[in-house]
Chains A and B, each alone.
Chain A
Amino acid sequence: MADVNTAYAIEVAGLHKSFGKVHALRGIDFAVPRGSVLGMLGPNGAGKTTAVRVLTTLLRPDSGRVVVEGYDVVRDAAAVRRRIGLAGQATAIQLELTGRENLEIMGRLNHMERRSVRGRAAELLERFDIADAADRPAKTYSGGMQRRLDLAASLIAEPSVLFLDEPTTGLDPYGRLGMWAILRELVDRGTTLLLTTQYLDEADELANTVVVVDRGEIIASGTPNQLKDQVGGDLLEFTVPDRGRLDDALHAVVGLSDAAPTVETDARRVKVPVGNRGSTALIEAVRRLDAAGVETENLALHRPSLDDVFLAVTGHAAEASPDGVAKVGAPS
């Protein structure tokens, strides 16, 4: 049933989905306000893609309620499909066809009038920087261009809610930045966005709210900043070149915050959790170390990354992917 007055573009309550004995989703709840961005963060196999497939009417949930733009994804699947866009890791682009042909075909399959399809395709090609290559086969495009074309295809009918399953996986850094810029612009125009990602910095960069998914459950949620506060806020860190002065350094910084400093003797490194009073604590530390006459190196204040969040809530390590971008991974 349509309830057009709801403030939420997506509402998910008690969502369960199993494949045989595998419980892909074990009771997921979240809501995405209109015009905001939800980042769904988690390692491979956490259930992100299953969730997106249920939300986009591709899979029936075992139990629970999923409402998109006021329509139930099971009972009113057709109405949901008219309002959403989906782009994923797999592209729906037909590589033998030109960019323009791909967009026009998608527009026609979304039941747009021939004339409005033509205009809309031209507009998207222009906006996504594909206009110069519009009439070349898509197989001649770079990876980033193909991904932009695929995103354009999912936007042809101007969906109000867009689902993106790992939109930048496999793109080079330049391609990722280009994609981020496009997504920010979309959100500025009022599109509600749900994106899944394994990349911590991507969720940090784009999402208003992040839900961390692990083994089919949401294990943490909040704004990126709230999640970071959850692991203890800022961390003051420095090393002492002279091992003999390590104890003096430690004495100097005791009492900077409620939390006790920790020492890694081998690395000659001192860490002080300082909560949310980072800058004040930093100035105070410099003053005290100077007064004690202790020489230090690499004195700095670290904001915890979503990496730290993931480690804190799951106990899994976050691992580096081959392309050097930090991402969350299951323990090996």
Chain B
Amino acid sequence: MTAVAEVAYTRSRPSAAQMARWAISDALVMTRRNLLVWMRVPAYIVFTVVQPVIFVLLFRYVFGGAIHAPGSGGYVDYLMPGIIGQTAAFATFATAIALAQEATKGVIDRFRAMPMARSAVLAGRLLADSIRMLIVILVIIGVGYAVGFRFQNGVVGAVGMVALAEAFGIAVCAVSAFVGLAIKDEESVQAFGLIWIFPLTFVSSAFVPIATMPGWLQVFANNQPVTLVINAMRSMALGGPQFPLNPALWESVLWLAGTLIVFIPLAVRSYRRVG
């Protein structure tokens, strides 16, 4: 407790600016680490890309003929924003599983005993997953173009649609991060993911017009967030009077903001409690 020791102690405490620089650098290092892992496992890349491609082909060619879609571009134009939204939601399985694995394997413990920023594991995971998601979305758009899909509303609309899909994906990733860290068991996490992601994506406007569903189901489908997001995406991609932008867009933005405000702190809290 000498004065000399006090000085040494004060000097060893980094400034707020230094802490912020480290937080950013740590998050980027973790992002790079997570993306490297993805790129090193060819099977992993193939599955994350091939699965949505199969959905595109399945709905375009198998179910599509039986589904009468509104709008001038036919079913493939109606379908693609839905598939892209669904892909963003499904991508979050990987987020939850990876975090659950790291929590159970003790990796997160090791990170927490290091001077790295507390935020880096979650931030690096969300950043890496959104980059991965963007790559997959661009591949699907390419496949969509090959099977007849066309953006009808210009470049700004197309970019807006991708941006909203990303924002949607990040919000669902935040939920998944919380679930993964809270449950911490890979298989339970996967099963739980199916329980909430499947109904939300399928009982929505992603694949079929909601008007074809029974009345009681329409009440849910019309008002749940995935429908709102996909309606807004569809409007940005296709334009036209059948697909009005609002209120779907601002309602989506409210939902996404609300989800992030609730689930980011929950994920951070369960990260702190790991182990």
Q: Residues of A with Cβ closer than 8 Å to B?
A: 1-5, 53, 56-59, 70-71, 76, 78-79, 81-82, 84, 86-92, 94, 96-97, 101, 105-106, 108-111, 137, 154, 157
Contact = CB atoms under 8 A, between A and B. Distances in A.
A18 B76 CA distance: 60
Interface in B120-158: 120
Interface residues of B, number: 33
A94 B33 contact: yes
A106 B110 CA distance: 10
Interface of B: 1-2, 4-6, 8-9, 12-13, 22, 25-26, 29-30, 32-33, 36-37, 40-41, 105-107, 109-116, 120, 275
B22 A111 contact: yes
Contacts, number: 96
A178 B94 CA distance: 37
Top 9 A-B pairs, shortest CB-CB distance: A90-B106, A92-B110, A109-B116, A2-B9, A96-B40, A86-B113, A56-B113, A108-B29, A96-B37
A3 B12 CA distance: 13
A68 to B, nearest CB: 11
B5 A4 contact: yes
A2 B5 contact: yes
B13 to A, nearest CB: 7
Given A79-B13, A108-B25, A3 B116 contact: no
A58 B113 contact: yes
A59 B114 CA distance: 14
A81 B33 contact: no
A92 B110 CA distance: 6
B214 to A, nearest CB: 47
A86 B41 CA distance: 28
A137 B40 CA distance: 9
A1 B114 contact: no
Contacts of A91: 105-106
A97 B106 contact: no
A91 B4 CA distance: 39
Contacts of B105: 90-91
A79 B12 contact: yes
Given A4-B5, A97-B36, A137-B40, A110 B113 contact: no
A256 to B, nearest CB: 52
